[in-house]
Amino acid sequence: MTAKVFGKSSAEAQQRETARLAALESLDLLDTPRDAGFDRIVDLIKEIFTVDIGLVTLIDAHRQWYKSCSGLPSDEVPRGDTFCRHVIDVEEAMVVPDASKDPRFSQHPAVTGDAHVRFYAGVPLKTKDGHVVGTVCAIDRRPKSFTAKDVGILQNLAALAMDRIELLQSAATDSLTEALTRRAFRQDAEQLISLALRHQHDLSCLVLDIDHFKSVNDTHGHAAGDAVLKAVAATCKAALRTGDLFGRLGGEEFAIVLPHVNREGAAAAAEKIRALIASQDIEGDFGSLGVTASFGVSTLTLVAKDIETLLAQADAAMYQAKHDGRNRCVSWTSLPAGHGTGARRRVLKAGTIVFNDRRSSIDCTVKSLGFDSAGLSVSSSAGIPSEFVLSIKGEGFETKCQVIAQDRQHLEVAFR
């Protein structure tokens, strides 16, 4: 007999999830910087409903990521640990007046632990095509009633959040750092790559990630974090030429495209910018801070001839720089022998990491995929062995992998 999931067969549920992840990937919003528009929606949730916690979230294959959050200390949680996964499954609003008396949640760590969650109301964050890519939530630490009118208000706030998402699709510049947005950077980079291939000139890509950035926010506050981001961005832009591209890929991750620059020139440029960042003191009400960054370098080749492959290779090199001690530059070509060298495409797929003779498994999100390698996102890479089996759910894909490079929540793997 075919298993049923909320009235649908498991095959139908998998097809729905695949389509949902594709819609989420097309928005290109995961791990993007904070945005004041979403923060205002969260503030409204807390004020209108008089609750402790407001959320606007996106949910990929393995986690719930908070695009905006007020009242909780983290910025993401494993998908299996969330109330919101039920909203994703049923694609409808869910209200829990008292979680301690609900058999689905009475033993949930968020209920029994320090978070002390009692009331939950969550509504789907839906695209125009009807795909549920996340949730908008009102949460409180006391039991609470919630009327049909309240649900309607929360749904209107979710519609406002979706309007904000659509507006951001056309934004070209990050408001904080004045770097290109991730979407605009990719589009402009593809044009530069096309020119480089047509005229057969060099082109290189740098990816840099600020070291220990989370501790800056946790210790000194978001104002200090914003000052660090602006200072690092200004340092990068001052060191670049007029025709170079500079974009902000995520919270503390930036990328640079250098036309007419070969591998050696790119390594020298990365080292120059790294040293400039490390040499400056950032001043503010928080005092004086020094920061460093880790760099990955990749170069246009017959194989790496699109921005997704160049970014994937530079990312892998950057993760290796982190692993080697941070505040350094690593080139893709210097990674250990046996790493994947094929082209990659950007994807968002549900995957499973299988190890320990198939007795252990961890959910992951496949972020980039090629014929011989992949980039994976996990809630934590701790305990994952250097070799494992990667399975992509619903596609019949399974292959042995070896870790090329990693950090706390990312794995770059080569297929064996």
How remote is the C-alpha of 80 from its chain's centroid? 18
> 266 and 326: one domain?
yes
The per-residue pLDDT for 336 is 66
Q: What is the mean pLDDT of residues 20-35?
A: 94
> 11 and 155: one domain?
yes
> 109 and 241: one domain?
no
> 324 and 348: one domain?
no
> Per the structure block, which two tokens stand in for 403?
């870790």
Phi, psi of 234 (to 5 degrees): -65, -40
- What single DSSP character describes residue 148? H
- Name which residue leads in pLDDT, 120 or 222: 120
Tens-place pLDDT, residues 214-260: 999 999 998 999 999 999 999 999 999 999 999 999 999 999 999 99
The per-residue pLDDT for 311 is 95
The CATH number given to whatever domain includes residue 348 is 2.40.10.220
> 260 and 358: one domain?
no
Candidate from 26-40, 107-121, 258-272, 336-350 with smallest mean pLDDT: 336-350
Q: What contacts 379, CB < 8 A, 6 or more positions away?
A: 62, 63, 76, 77, 78, 362, 363, 409
pLDDT for residue 2 is more than 70: no
pLDDT for residue 404 is more than 60: yes
The per-residue pLDDT for 12 is 86
> 83 and 216: one domain?
no
Question: Which amino acid is located at 64 in the chain?
Answer: Q
Residue 296 lies in a domain: yes
Residues 151, 138: Cα–Cα separation, whole Å? 10
> 306 and 351: one domain?
no
Give the length of the chain.
416
Residues 81, 376: Cα–Cα separation, whole Å? 20
**HSE-up (13 A, CA, CB side) for residue 402:** 11
CB-based burial label for 302 (10 Å; 0-12, 13-18, 19+): exposed
Residue 120 lies in a domain: yes
> 257 and 377: one domain?
no
Nearest to 294 by CA among 267, 314, 316, 274: 274
Residue 339 lies in a domain: no
Q: What is the mean pLDDT of residues 48-59?
A: 98
1 — pLDDT class (breaks 50, 70, 90): very low
The per-residue pLDDT for 3 is 39
> 217 and 320: one domain?
yes
Residue 80 lies in a domain: yes
Domain end residue (candidates: 312, 334, 356): 334
Tens-place pLDDT, residues 260-271: 999 999 999 999
Residue 261 lies in a domain: yes
Please give the torsion angle defined by the CA atoms of residues 256, 254, 409 and 382, in that order, rounded to the nearest 10 degrees: 80
The per-residue pLDDT for 190 is 97
pLDDT for residue 31 is more than 70: yes
The CATH number given to whatever domain includes residue 263 is 3.30.70.270
Domain end residue (candidates: 334, 362, 384): 334
Tens-place pLDDT, residues 309-364: 999 999 999 999 999 999 999 999 887 655 666 789 999 999 999 999 999 999 99
Q: In terms of residue numbers, what domain contains 64? A: 4-168
Residues 138, 122: Cα–Cα separation, whole Å? 6
**Cβ-contact 182, 267 below 8 angstroms:** no
Tens-place pLDDT, residues 129-177: 999 999 999 999 999 999 999 999 999 999 999 999 999 999 999 999 9
> 11 and 111: one domain?
yes
pLDDT for residue 30 is more than 80: yes
> 328 and 262: one domain?
yes
Residues 89, 91: Cα–Cα separation, whole Å? 6
pLDDT for residue 4 is more than 60: no
Residue 103 lies in a domain: yes
Q: What is the DSSP string of 86-107?
A: HHHHHTS-EEES-GGG-TTTTT
Residue 292 lies in a domain: yes
Residues 142, 414: Cα–Cα separation, whole Å? 48
Number of domains in the chain: 3
How remote is the C-alpha of 88 from its chain's centroid? 19
Return the number of other C-beta atoms located less than 10 Å from residue 59's C-beta. 24
Quote the mean pLDDT of the chain.
94
The CATH number given to whatever domain includes residue 148 is 3.30.450.40
Q: What is the mean pLDDT of residues 194-204?
A: 97
Residue 174 lies in a domain: no
Domain end residue (candidates: 103, 133, 168): 168
* pTM attached to this predicted model: 0.90
> 370 and 402: one domain?
yes
> Per the structure block, which two tokens stand in for 265?
């020139």
> Per the structure block, which two tokens stand in for 308?
């997704």
The CA-based angle 380-67-211, given to 5 degrees, is 50
